[in-house]
Structure 1
């Protein structure tokens, strides 16, 4: 039986799934990572949803986000987690519940570098994606408005800005080439709001 491998590109990077027996950093091709998904249940509330990341095919993003100024050269780095087979059913249930707010399970190939050459290092990893036809998908929002939403939102899992800060720190640490200009520009704007209002920037 094939191992159960799940690719984390958002909160799974800084809050890994349980019963992980192996972690491998890698990246995706043909996708962008954007704060384009509402969070009603973790980093916001039904009345005031926060914003969390999802993956979008680059060609799909281009269709409804012509004003998005960030380069296609950004790389979506993340971590592929291999789950202990004994606990596969338990972890699947855990992830299905954790990602219930509009996310759909897809299978993706994970890339890595081998002597400077890109190659597939894992075939068919599981990944939870908030597709653009799910009710929680909000698409592209002006960066200032998005930053303000993240700065003010709080949910059962904590402050929305802590999710952003934890993710940015994790991506910074993943790889020297793990640059994500959308994520880092958003982090800078939210930290500027902290500075302006004299609030804590600690995650």
Structure 2
């Protein structure tokens, strides 16, 4: 008998949480250890334009983030570490979904394989899944910015996928991500994300 290819499972930690890929067969909440989720990636094609890029999240290893931002004030004990969802894709549509995701994540993101932790029957399991990550050496990586400046950039940015900040529109990014993370894992806390969520609202 021939070997059976493993299913295509992609881990989402940003917009994939609230806007999943097509042809999902199942989904499982999971998290990463040793990583932080940061608005450290420019968006020229979804949440901004080449002239006025918006900001979107990427995953960065905690040790790498310390190198880029020694002044990042958020606590190491946050239990988020890229909290997200693992989506298992219908094998009949794997090629189509890969093409869709490659296009959707084309602005600086590359596919990596990461160890995703899940909790089942009060037991922690580790599986290896694909994940799109904006590595620090990609052209769209912006690194650490002062939180107020970052919030203003998110507030002002508009792109083909809609405003960065709009709260009542289906395309918004920051607020839907914050709300989705709370719904996904009420016990978790993402200091960076939740601090940004408050700042743009204060500017209205």
In structure 1, the residue matched to 2:156 is: 152
Residue 84 (str. 1) matches residue 81 (str. 2)? no
1:32 to 10, 32, 36: 36
Q: Which moved more, 1:38-47 or 1:161-170?
A: 161-170
SS in 2 for 1:139: coil
Q: 1:114 to 1:88 in 2, by over 3 A?
A: closer
Q: TM-score, normalised by structure 1?
A: 0.92
Query: Where do residues 9-28 of structure 1 align in structure 2 (5 Å cutoff)?
Result: 9-28=13-32
Residue 54 (str. 1) matches residue 58 (str. 2)? yes
Structure 1 runs (4+) deviating above 6 angstroms are none
Q: TM-score, normalised by structure 2?
A: 0.91
Structure number having the greater helix percentage: 1
Q: Which moved more, 1:157-166 or 1:108-117?
A: 108-117
Q: How many aligned residue pairs are there?
A: 192
Q: CA RMSD in A?
A: 1.1
Gaps of 5+ in 1: 195-203
In structure 1, the residue matched to 2:77 is: 73
For 1:190 and 1:70, locate their aligned partners in 2 and report how far apart those are by CA, in whole Å.
18
Deviation (angstroms), 1:113 = 2.6
For 2:112 and 2:76, locate their aligned partners in 1 and report how far apart those are by CA, in whole Å.
22
